[in-house]
Amino acid sequence: MTASIKDYLMLHFIVLIWGFTAILGLLISLPAIELVFYRTLIASLGIAGLFLLKKRSLLIPLPEMIRVVSIGFVIAIHWILFFWSAQVSTASVCLAGMATTSLWTAFVEPIFNRTKIKWYEVALGLMVISGLLVIFSFEGGYWLGLSMALGSAFLAAVFSVLNGRLAHKHSPYQITFYEMAGACIASAVFMPFYSYFLAEDGLKMNWEGYDWFWLFILGGICTVYAFSVSVELMKRLSVFSINLTINLEPVYGIVLAVLIFGESEKMTPQFYLGTAIILVSVLAYPVLNYWNKRRKPVRPLG
């Protein structure tokens, strides 16, 4: 099936939804761990509901189930750091750190797959570091939030590479269900430790105001709906075009944060300069990667 303009517009809409997640982390009154627990619980129940409606089985072999659930533990830590970053700093700072995910992937993937790191990946990695140094130099008060976002971005790269190995074995919906279930279990297991050592007032499980609405947007729209549509788009759009568009998520998120929160999200010009350096390197990666593959000579058969 060939891609249409509608498919590309839908892809940008999905990326816009993902860019909205950091903002939801600020709109919801719950701390990061409780927020991740509810998000993953709603998402896993939502996917299970979809399978029940379609009368399809979620079961996979037990060894594979354990492996996928364990990846869910990595996702839980990734999301906890993500939302915690936004809450201790700003959505813009969080998204600036998350913009490094694709470049983390460029270094993590060769380690897992035992391949060579390409020269332009090193160059772009140094470019990202320079952008981060610009941000740290002028936004020192946000060092904790940015550090959490960088850790979250690294874990995002790790689980995306691990997911790549599983994608050919099982339905993406099955993988997502067990990962969300694993993330839900991981956040629940971590709660007692968090409550005793890190939370001054203990766990906060009660919803306030419109928390219920924002949580269902986060778990239903930003997770179940966005994922299901992105999987459908993969049937018609190239991986290159999808990855290139996903790199725009921090741009959409930062613009939305400024529009929604106003003055509290406005940063110094140096912050936007550093973020721009990171985004240029991120957007340049798939272009250079595509160019590098095209220029390789094709070996004749025989």
The Cβ-side half-sphere exposure at 226, using a 13 Å CA radius, reads 21
153 pLDDT above the threshold of 50: yes
Residues 6+ apart with CB under 8 A from 96: 135, 146, 149, 250, 254, 271, 274, 275, 278
Cβ count near 57 (within 10 Å): 8
* Model pLDDT, residue 71: 92
Question: Does residue 236 contact residue 7 with C-beta atoms inside 8 Å?
Answer: yes
297 pLDDT above the threshold of 80: no
The three-state DSSP-derived secondary structure of 183-227 is: HHHHHHHHHHHHHHHCCCCCCCCCCCCCHHHHHHHHHHHHHHHHH
Mean pLDDT of 266-278: 83
250 pLDDT above the threshold of 90: no
Rounded Cα gap, residues 103 and 122, in angstroms: 9
Mean pLDDT of 250-255: 84
Residues 6+ apart with CB under 8 A from 167: 175
239 pLDDT above the threshold of 70: no
Q: What is this structure's pTM? A: 0.84
Query: Distances from the Cα of 144 to the Cαs of 16, 86, 147, 277, in angstroms?
Result: 26, 10, 5, 20
Rounded Cα gap, residues 9 and 242, in angstroms: 12
Rounded Cα gap, residues 135 and 60, in angstroms: 45
Rounded Cα gap, residues 58 and 178, in angstroms: 9
Mean pLDDT of 177-188: 94
93 pLDDT above the threshold of 50: yes
Task: Determine whether 66 is exposed, middle or buried from the number of CB atoms within 10 Å of its CB (0-12, 13-18, 19+).
Answer: exposed
Query: Distances from the Cα of 205 to the Cαs of 30, 37, 159, in angstroms?
Result: 7, 10, 27
300 pLDDT above the threshold of 70: no
* Model pLDDT, residue 2: 58
For residue 302, name the pLDDT band (cuts at 50, 70, 90): very low
User: What is the C-alpha radius of gyration for the chain, rounded to an integer number of angstroms?
Assistant: 20
Cβ count near 230 (within 10 Å): 19
The Cβ-side half-sphere exposure at 84, using a 13 Å CA radius, reads 22
